[in-house]
Amino acid sequence: MLWVDKHRPTALEKLSYHAELGERLGSMAEDGDIPHLLFYGPSGAGKKTRVQCLLKALYGAGAEKQRLEHREFKTPTNKTIEVTTVASNYHIEMNPSDAGNNDRFVVQEVIKEIAQSGSVLAKTGAQKKGPAFKVILMVEVDRLSRQAQAGLRRTMEKSSSACRLVMICTNPSKVIDPIRSRCLGIRIAAPSEEEIVGVLHEVCEKERLTLPDELAARIAKSSGRNLRRAILALEECKVAQYPFNPSMPVPQPDWEVYIKAIAQDICREQSPARLVATRDKLYELLAKCIPADVILKELCAELVSKLDDELKPQVMACAAFYEHRVQQGSKEIFHLEAFVAKFMVIYKKFMDAMFA
């Protein structure tokens, strides 16, 4: 088991940072009732961990007994959609955006099913720990289509007595206002570098390892305040060399190194052949489950770092335009390739004018 999962806190009182938020969630769990919740914050800030701790505080250890399920849903055109969910007797976790443009059917069907079945406690009338409603945990809500979010708004009002929605997203601005107004928003800020260093030392203490302060500080800084990434980098350093060397290099994710190589190739040559080769590399990143908006963001950042100040606003405007296209379209590769082609045109014109 990876350290990031092995040493994940399982109780609100064991959270290493944002203690006041843990107390707030704990008081909500003690009341035995929660509203619809929207957790938002950057990647690796601890949103999912806090939701899991909240579920355990609500339902006890039964919320940790989870099973993997493969569900099939049918659209009005009899098209079958397969979605993988993680469920316990008290909650179900899903990512409706996995269904693509058919996500609205998945959202509505799951909520209707949960609302009709209710929870185990409601059925049996058992006086055990936990409220009588089920929790539907939806991750990456900001990736849902507008149609799915509109359907979610209508459904969550009708079934609020039988189930509660707990939603997780990175960018709340992509969630429509009617959903945000029906939820209690909880912001999970990214941990500071000092807090990440403290967590890294806790992990090494549990693994009976000695971590130099200098290496811990460099891992925290290179992680971009992403705790998950920092713990994964620490484990990779352990695999590469132990005892730790304070000056040893901090490994970078392979996909980031790959995107840096793509940016170097694009700046070196602007031609149809290079565009075709770049398309193949972008396809490979998408095949490795790297989201298109993440690819676009990292690629834009690498390209901007190599450009003259005159070109930076223009390239960033193009990146924002094609990021919007990625969200609206169904073929991500088209918009990624279009961004690369547009950058090649801008960069080629600039270089030709400079040496004319």
Tokens representing residue 131 in the block: 């409220």
CA–CA separation, 193 and 195 (whole Å): 5
Strand (E) or helix (H) holding 70 = strand 67-74
Instruction: Read off the pLDDT of residues 292-342 as tens digits, 9 standing for 90 and up.
Output: 889 999 999 999 988 888 889 999 999 999 998 887 777 889 999 999 999
* DSSP letter string, 76-107: TT--EEEEEEEE-SSEEEE-GGGGGGGHHHHH
pTM of the model: 0.84
CATH number of 254-350: 1.20.272.10
Please write the tens of the pLDDT for every residue from 211-270. Answer: 999 999 999 999 989 999 999 999 999 998 888 888 888 888 889 999 999 999 999 999
Encode pLDDT of 140-180 as tens digits.
888 888 888 887 877 777 777 778 889 999 988 888 888 88
Enumerate residues 6+ apart whose C-beta is below 8 A from 324. Answer: none
Average pLDDT for the chain: 85
Give the pair of three-digit tokens for residue 330: 């169904």
Q: What is the CATH number of domain 3-187?
A: 3.40.50.300
pLDDT at 118: 56
Q: Where are the domains of the chain?
A: 3-187, 193-240, 254-350
Q: Return the axis-axis angle of helices 19-31 and 47-59, rounded to nearest 10°.
A: 30
Distance separating alpha carbons of residues 354 and 111, to the nearest angstrom: 59
